Chains A and B, each alone.
Chain A
Amino acid sequence: MKRVPVTLDVNGESHALSLEPRRLLSDALREECGLTGVHVGCENGVCGACTVLIDGAPARACLIFAVQMQGHAIATIESVARGGALSPLQQALHEEHGLQCGFCTPGLVMTMEAWLKDNPDPDETAIRAALSGHLCRCTGYQSIVAAVKRAARIARERA
């Protein structure tokens, strides 16, 4: 299949690539850009493991073709811990034991990082609703909910 040129702007770095138009963004990020923190769990938009930020908004990388991303800024899990320091949400997930196998973690971190910006003081029901787009087979979600609460508190205290 014919390849087309596309420049992906990921985590502030640009990658000039030549890709088949059908190549999924999730595959391009993982295989061409080496960002294997983008996980693939279903490839049809349900599990949320592949979630990245596109121009700041969460999106499923498995539902987008890489060639559509010309001119958009993409952020993946690899960009979240700045200067090696965990974000409040990452730190809270660590402290609340909000991850076991860790496979769902990057995707839900991306969603909740963005969500917490708009919802700085959420209650449990709202957190559970926001998390419902992510499947986790290990934790039963309780510790993730606790972590999101804790992250919101830390962020509020810092502000």
Chain B
Amino acid sequence: MSGFSSIGKRLLRFEDRRFLTGQGAYLDDIVAPRCLHAHFLRSPHAHARIRAIDAREAAWLPGVRGVYRGADLAAMAKPLRMAPPIEGLKPTEIAPLPVDKVRFQGDPVAVILADDRYIAEDAAELIAVDYEPLPAVTSFAEALSPSAPKVDETLDDNLVAHQSFATPGCARVFAEARRIVTRRFVQNRVTHAPIETRGCLAIWDEGRQHLTFHVGNQAPHPYRTQLAARLGLSESQVTVIAPDIGGAFGQKIALYREELACAALARATRRPVRWREDRMENLAAASHAREDACVTRAAIDAQGRILALDVAIEEDFGAYCFFPGNYLARVVALMTPGPYRIRDYAYDVRVALTNKCGAGPMRAPMSMTSWIMEGTLDAIAAELDADPADIRRLNMIEARELPYVTVTDQRLEDITPRETLEGALAHLDYAAARARQRADRARGILRGLGICVVVESTTYGSAFYKSAGIPGSGHETAVVKVEPSGAVNAAVGLMASGQGYETALAQAVAEGLGVDPATVRLQIGNTDVAPYGMGSRGARGATAGGGVLYLASQALGEKIRTIAARELGLNDIGELRLAAGRIERRLAGAWEATRLSLTDVARIAYLDPLRLPPGLEPGLEVHKAYEPPAMTFSNATHVCEVVVDARSGRIAIERYIVAEDCGTPLNPMLVEGQQIGAVAMGLSGCLSEHVVYDRDGQNLSTTFADYHLATAVEIPHIEIVPMHTPNRSTPAGVKGMSEGGVMGAIGALANAVDDALRPLGIRAEALPLTPIALRRLIRTATRRSAP
């Protein structure tokens, strides 16, 4: 990881100052004159027909400028058709706003435009909607029962996606296996809960016939493509501008119906229209995630070697497909074998629609992957009374087996699972921890250790999407410019929501070019300025975004050196470099300053082009696209030590360790921030978060007093052990990261709690592990065993 001058430096963030002083410009901070405020009236029913909507009284309220229903919006915008040609996936369609039926509690049924938000909300109370309530489907099992009401009436049933796979020998291995270990895992429905809710500001320019749409979105260009198409506009008639984003985590990728409605109504009313979602709407109606259950079966030999693995996943996808139904669970199935030698494998993935808020990707969309694999390894260890670390060692691929192609055709290369496993265990002093556990168990104290090895698929290349049967492209684009004054502007098709791109990506540009990162200005989030890119999703920012910026900057650096060589009368640019904005020349092995600076070269390139070497275009600007490998992985091992209080069910996390290999870190401080933040999100989801629906489909968790995000008291101190090694196939050896922490935390914590509960003969198969849930489990177990 040496040889870099900007990459790998612990630079403090350039973006901090505006956030620390209250000068950040988030969506709702943008002012537009004559603006109307949108408010959405939402369904109180989980499932109901809309018979009639009477908005007359609301429309008379002073300050109300209009009330629009689904039928009105249908004339202004097109539906979202989700029909990628994928086997096992049923096509679905979402209207701009529901017209004749609502499908979950919180579904928008009408939108009010008023002079302010207070009036708009008053008006909502005056609208009378005549509903005919229908029976609601509130679980996966219910959804698939033959008598279930149909959530989407255009489909034959509620099974929206079904895909399966098996190696030819898999069934036989199971048939002949001496031992089969089975384990069930139930993940809780959670939601992203960025502290800034959703919102938008739509400004229609009637003269230019142009829409400027401000929205805190992670992928502004794909968003623009869809927004323009659904409004019947060309992509040159729409500019999407993403301001500072107060957290996104996957919730700010889709074009939501509320946003589409604001855009359509700005055009229809010729007035700016803004929407600020409130927290209740965000928790009830934005996007949810992760409600899936999985059963694994492992055929093993007497030592605990896995001979075959079978994984059955069921996902409750909610009422609408803003993403293809197989988008998340399918990747879980593909990635589950992880770094283990599994030659026979089968999976079955079923995704059902229910009357709940639609699901989408949330930081670590494949969050369950590591938990189900590592939990299965723990089940094998328990079955054989073996040490869980030894079972992992027995099954894990070794460095000399790399590159290793998994049974689902994932090529594992430049990863270090064994190293991080041993690194994390050593950091904990595993033997001492097991000794603590034995001593505590003898005294009736429930102490547990959890291990979770993570192989994080960070950067999805186009080849992966194609072979996995999910829609998408993995390339990324960048423009790097040195302006006539020597100032550096760099643009890329990503959008930040807290990752620190303005610093980390500036470091990638600075490295490629040979300038001080502080002189690089990153231009992101404006579709007119940045080139068309695929946006920020997964953990692709550093590899795809940093990678393409680095490559573009290197190419621009070469042009700069070519011009400088001619000025200095040299033939070979290899003897020149740019460092801190000065052209340097190698003389007798040492770098020495020349008379030229970057500014001198820039002036020639722009203002005196006749001096340029033959064949070079005027100006200093490079546009580049980069297609990353099919898949890039980082990897880690999480280890967690807990004590469960048998009386209260409370979990005390005494140690939490992450040994991680994220490749070349662009900025190690930011990498550590992402690691800790991801672990915290995983722990929070595992400890306390839960979107709860009752049997009628009423959401019972629509305030932060009911939906519990972990605070500074619940999140422990997290110990990070950096074990980075570069990737040889990506620019600068970057691997990317930011989601693995979530995966590892869920697995490590759940495994630790199971380990703690082992003396009681129970395990906690369902998340979240709240004190109430654990106490109930423990009580049932101890009552059962009582004489």
Contact = CB atoms under 8 A, between A and B. Distances in A.
Interface of A: 1, 20, 22-23, 30, 35-44, 46-47, 49, 76-78, 80-81, 86, 90, 93-95, 97, 99-106, 109, 124, 127-129, 131-145
A76 to B, nearest CB: 7
Interface string B465-509: 000000000000000000000000000000001111000000000
A97 B669 contact: yes
Contact of B715 (A35, A101, A141): A141
Contacts of B244: 101-102
B249 interface: yes
Contact of A139 (B16, B246, B673): B673
B429 interface: no
Q: Is the interface of A mostly helix, strand, loop or mixed?
A: loop
B679 A44 contact: no
Contact of B676 (A1, A129, A139): A139
A95 B12 contact: yes
B196 interface: yes
A131 B20 contact: no
B410 to A, nearest CB: 29
Interface in B659-706: 669-670, 672-673, 676-681, 703-705
A109 B20 contact: yes
B194 interface: yes
A132 B713 CA distance: 6
Nearest to A95: B12
A103 B712 contact: no
A137 B712 contact: no
A137 B673 contact: no
Nearest to A141: B712
A88 to B, nearest CB: 12
A81 B394 CA distance: 57
A94 B195 contact: no
Contact of A102 (B28, B498, B705): B498
A136 B118 contact: no
Contacts of B713: 128-129, 132
A46 B591 CA distance: 58
A139 B677 contact: yes
Most buried by A among B192, B278, B711: B711
A143 B715 CA distance: 12
Contacts of B711: 128, 131-135, 141
B196 A100 contact: no
A90 B500 CA distance: 17
Nearest to A132: B711
Nearest to B707: A46
Contacts of A44: 279, 703-705
Contact of B22 (A35, A104, A127, A129): A35
A40 B198 CA distance: 12
A102 B21 contact: no
Contacts of B21: 37, 77-78, 80-81, 86, 90
A78 B715 CA distance: 30
22 contacts: A30-B29, A37-B22, A41-B196, A42-B279, A44-B704, A44-B705, A46-B704, A47-B279, A49-B195, A86-B17, A90-B21, A93-B16, A95-B12, A99-B16, A101-B245, A103-B24, A129-B712, A131-B711, A133-B711, A134-B712, A137-B193, A141-B711
B712 A36 contact: no
Contacts of A30: 28-29
Interface string B700-724: 0001110001011101011000000
B110 to A, nearest CB: 22
B28 A40 contact: yes
A93 B673 CA distance: 12
Contact of B13 (A78, A97, A133, A139): A97
A140 B19 contact: no
A129 to B, nearest CB: 6
A44 B706 CA distance: 12
Nearest to A101: B498
B247 interface: yes
B673 A36 contact: no
B725 interface: no
Given A101-B194, A135-B709, A94 B26 contact: no
B247 A103 contact: yes
Contact of A103 (B17, B26, B500, B669): B26
A98 B244 CA distance: 17
B2 interface: no
A1 B24 CA distance: 32
A77 B224 CA distance: 34
Given A101-B194, A142-B715, A145-B712, A42 B16 contact: no
Contact of B712 (A49, A86, A105, A132): A132
Given A77-B21, A137-B195, A41 B497 contact: no
Contact of A94 (B17, B29, B672): B17
A44 to B, nearest CB: 6
B19 A99 contact: yes
B23 interface: yes
B676 A42 contact: no
Contacts of B245: 101
Nearest to A99: B19
A18 to B, nearest CB: 14
Contact of A142 (B29, B279, B498, B717): B717
A93 B703 CA distance: 28
Contact of B118 (A23, A43, A49): A23
A39 B246 contact: yes
A109 to B, nearest CB: 7
A44 B22 CA distance: 21
B673 A97 contact: yes
B195 A136 contact: yes
A41 B711 CA distance: 15
Contact of A137 (B13, B16, B26, B247): B247
A36 B192 CA distance: 24
B705 A143 contact: no
Given A37-B21, A101-B245, 12 more contacts: A44-B279, A94-B12, A97-B13, A101-B196, A101-B247, A131-B711, A134-B711, A135-B195, A137-B192, A137-B249, A140-B677, A142-B680
A39 B16 contact: no
Given A20-B118, A100-B499, A140 B715 contact: yes
Contacts of A77: 21-22
A83 to B, nearest CB: 12
Contact of A39 (B26, B499, B673, B680): B26
B500 A100 contact: yes
Contacts of B704: 42, 44, 46-47, 135
A140 B656 CA distance: 13
B22 A78 contact: yes
B138 interface: no
Contact of B197 (A41, A99, A106, A124): A41
B20 A100 contact: no
A77 B412 CA distance: 48
A137 B22 contact: no
Contacts of B26: 36, 39, 103
B20 A86 contact: yes
A34 to B, nearest CB: 8
Given A86-B21, A90-B20, A93-B16, A137 B709 contact: yes
A46 to B, nearest CB: 4
A38 B26 CA distance: 11
B559 to A, nearest CB: 35
Given A44-B703, A128-B713, A102 B20 contact: yes
A49 B28 CA distance: 14
A108 B197 CA distance: 18
A53 to B, nearest CB: 13
B701 to A, nearest CB: 13
Contacts of A78: 21-23
Nearest to A79: B22
B136 to A, nearest CB: 27
B20 A46 contact: no
B246 A140 contact: no
Given A42-B279, A95-B12, A100 B677 contact: yes
